[in-house]
Structure 1
Amino acid sequence: MLDPVRAFVARLAPHPVCDGCIAERLNLTTPQRANQETRLLAGNEGFERRRDICSLCYGEKMVIRLRV
């Protein structure tokens, strides 16, 4: 499931997206599933996780983004 998450976040770059929005848009079973994947991506290939505003739901929470 890592590849669809990676592609989704990359498509939104450089805008951050939260685990909940990733789970919803990719039809994952739970936001925790997205959290597992985004934690694996963080720190690799230009992906970073931090507390910020999600570009889709506008909530302030942990998000991931691809630095460009």
Structure 2
Amino acid sequence: MRKIGWALAYAVPAIVTSPAACHFASCSYRDYDVPMPRRMTIAGQIEQLIGNLGGSPICDDCITDQLNLSVRSQTNVVTRELGHRDEYDRAKTSCGQCGALKTAIQIRK
């Protein structure tokens, strides 16, 4: 497929020009003048989850479960780094989700 203009991409029915319509074809977002959707990184998802808890501590296992991550070590790498920042507190405490006494992270109030 050739590149098409931005205005044309939005004027023609979505079934013809939508990158989603190319799911099973050999098309890509580069075939259109539309921006590729951005996905949040794992670190960004973890930061957002911790922030949404409003100061309630959460352990790495619960973060892994809630974000459907494949391995706990992904979470551990991120939470150890966040624990060094001033706005986060990472210490051994009871998790606000599962109640177990573990190393958990929370946003400082």
**TM surpasses 0.5:** yes
Q: TM-score, normalized by length of structure 2?
A: 0.60
Counterpart of 1:30 in structure 2 is: 71
Q: Structure 1 runs of 4+ off > 3 angstroms?
A: none
The AA in structure 1 aligned to 2:88 is F
Which residue of structure 1 aligns with residue 81 of structure 2? Answer: 40
Structure having greater relative contact order (Cα 8 Å, sep ≥ 6): 1
Query: Counterpart of 1:63?
Result: 104
- TM-score normalized with structure 1 length: 0.93
Q: Which whole-Å CA distance do the structure 2 matches of 1:5 and 1:13 have between them?
A: 13
Q: Which has the larger radius of gyration?
A: 2
1:19 aligns with 2:60: yes
> Identity of counterpart residues, as a percentage?
28
Please give the alpha-carbon distance, in whole angstroms, between the structure 2 residues aligned to 1:63 and 1:39. 10
What RMSD, in angstroms, separates the aligned Cα atoms of the two structures? 0.9
Q: Which runs of 5+ in 1 are unaligned?
A: none
1:9 aligns with 2:16: no
Q: Please report how far the alpha carbon of residue 13 of structure 1 lies from its aligned counterpart in structure 2 after TM superposition.
A: 2.0
1: CA distance, partners of 2:90 / 2:52: 16
> Tell me, what secondary structure is at the counterpart of 1:5?
helix
How far residue 45 of structure 1 moved from its aligned partner, in angstroms, is 4.6
